[in-house]
Amino acid sequence: MVVPLLKGVIYQEENPALWGSLLHLQASVQDYVAVLGLELMLDEAEGYAFLRSRPENDKDGTASVPRLVARRQLSYPVSLLLALLRKKLAEFDAGGGDTRLILSRDEVVELFRIFLPAGSNEVKLIDQVDATLTKIAALGFIRRLRGQQQMIEVRRIIKAFVDAQWLADFDQRLAAYREQLAPSGEGKDG
């Protein structure tokens, strides 16, 4: 049961038998992975489970075991697109209806275009979006639809990684970035 979790995310829809076993053995799995300095993150409502490192210091202030799962710094385009996709998922959920958020590459390009200088090269933009989508798919936050490579599904696990605090911090960094890019006379009387 632990080996599939060590390899990555388990989705209820992709492996119902494994999901059922995980739910049945949840307490045992939590105890087992705790020895490794990991914690089981299971969301029954959204249908996914994964392992993550426990915080560096335990609640009592003592140092915990060394980190087993490496942290990766995300590039600006990956962080930006994750934030945009997470906001799009929040808007989608607020609207009710379907549970799967499906977007075309063109829709993603339009989300991304707002944050690039006017007159950016269209071909380079599409290539950059494709490369960024490939990286995000490798991280497991989206998946391309079979037979429709121009369509992606935003996976609900994005909610576990890109939470409200992460979005607020990212919004602050984006605001600072926009201020730096603003022309020097903008907003001033002159």
Same domain flag for 83 and 150: yes
Reduced to 3 states, what is the DSSP secondary structure of residue 102?
A: strand
Contact 67, 59 (CB under 8 A): no
**pTM for the predicted model, two decimal places:** 0.75
Q: Is 39 exposed, middle or buried (0-12, 13-18, 19+ CB in 10 A)?
A: middle
The number of domains in the chain is 2
The answer as to whether 124 is a domain residue is yes
Q: pLDDT tens for the chain, 190 residues: list them.
A: 889 998 888 999 889 999 999 999 999 999 999 988 899 999 999 899 999 888 765 555 555 566 666 677 888 889 889 999 998 998 898 887 778 899 999 999 998 888 776 667 888 888 989 999 999 998 889 999 998 888 999 999 998 888 878 777 877 877 777 777 666 544 444 3
Domain encompassing residue 128: 76-181
